[in-house]
Structure 1
Amino acid sequence: MKQFKSVYVPGNHTHQASYKPLLKQIVEEIFNPEKADPVDIEHMSSGLTDLLKTGFSMFMKVSRPHPSDHPFLILFVVGGVTVSEAKMVKDLVASLKPGTQVIVLSTRLLKPLNIPELLFATDRLHPDLGI
């Protein structure tokens, strides 16, 4: 990740330091109208027509599709997502670009008590694979 390095927003003399969730930063970047190409979000071309377009892009100006151009967004989170994070993403998309449908998928649905356990109590050298 080149752009999303921290969830900490430092304070100054008039504002206190705050927390800005990573999912919120990503969704705001996707639907930011001033940014032409998101830095950390890539379009992967597939199929013969996309490969031909990629080959011809060396000779002519071909723009890559932007994630906000589509009326449907699938956001997949590896590692887990809480219900409040999924609701935050849904509300944020509704406020930034009404009419866009969003589905938040994840490898695990986390409870708030899972987060400290995953951060501090998990043995990283011998993970429990559930086998």
Structure 2
Amino acid sequence: PGGPSGHAAVGWRWVLAQNAPVVLLDEPTTYLDISHQVELLDLMRELAAEGKTVITVLHDINQACRYADHLAVMHAGKLVADGAPAAVISAELMRQVFDVQVRIMLEPVAGTPMCLVEKSTRPQAEHG
């Protein structure tokens, strides 16, 4: 349970068999349990280490910081920040883009930025 479906497993085998220089992934960790997410993201890092370009859309900012060499942060269809995770991630950016108040720490294993969400800063809708 929680692992890749048969279709997903076939898809990954097909992608790897192509030996393409560029791999594009749109939310590849969706519907995967944590173990399979880590396995997949570790595989993507290995492909990058082999010289492939890996472009991935992730909505988990902590996964993005841990696995990406370069982040591009989009908001309302516009690029608002890009660069190395440590240079891009800030409490102000998280508030502006995601409407959350965060504490930024270093992830203890990888030493990358990690966001601990403290609360939402999204204005509450008025109840009438």
Interval containing the TM-score (normalised by the shorter chain): under 0.3
With CA pairs under 8 Å and 6+ residues apart, which has the higher RCO, 1 or 2? 1
TM-score (ref. length: structure 1): 0.27
- Please state which structure has a larger fraction of its residues in helix: 2
More strand by share: 2
